[in-house]
């Protein structure tokens, strides 16, 4: 199955692989946040609906709510972030992923943006 990367208007990304999705925050979100010092991770096994708040990132500049881009069940969390929250800003789409979700409705991905649409959205948002 082909992998897709989609973005939300709240700066999260999801990389899909079959029914699973890897969720984190975009490089652009990291740039706005600055140095990250704490991440409140989602609850493992929790059933969530699209756009539910599932965690918080705290940085020297502000707090950033993490929303789930799709509905499903949280099947894994990146426990490394408890000890090394800076991984989110160092490698947001690699070692800095936040959680994995088992998607229940992949058509929800249709509401998200590809990278070109995301860049355009950011530029228009200022």
Tens of pLDDT, residue by residue over 54-90, are: 999 999 988 999 999 999 999 999 999 999 999 999 9
Average pLDDT, rounded, for the chain: 94
Q: What is the per-residue pLDDT for 18? A: 87
21 bridge partner residues: 16, 101
CATH number, residue 25: 2.40.50.100
Q: What is the per-residue pLDDT for 29? A: 93
Instruction: Enumerate residues 6+ apart whose C-beta is below 8 A from 123.
Output: none
- Domain extent for 61: 4-125
Check whether 2 has a pLDDT greater than 90: no
Q: Which residue, 40, 4, 16, is CA-closest to 100?
A: 16
Q: What is the per-residue pLDDT for 58? A: 95
Count the domains in the chain: 1
């Amino acid at each position: 199955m082909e992998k897709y990367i989609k973005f939300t208007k709240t700066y999260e990304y999801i990389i899909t692989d079959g029914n699973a999705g890897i969720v984190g925050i975009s490089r652009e979100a990291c740039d706005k946040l600055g140095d990250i010092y704490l991440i409140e991770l989602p609850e493992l096994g929790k059933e969530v609906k699209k756009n539910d708040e599932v965690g918080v990132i705290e940085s020297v500049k502000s707090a950033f709510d993490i929303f789930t881009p799709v509905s499903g069940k949280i099947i894994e969390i990146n426990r490394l972030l408890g000890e090394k929250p800076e991984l989110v800003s160092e490698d947001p789409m690699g070692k800095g992923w936040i959680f994995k979700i088992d998607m229940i409705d992949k058509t929800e991905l249709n509401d998200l943006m590809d990278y070109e649409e995301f860049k355009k959205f950011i530029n228009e948002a200022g």
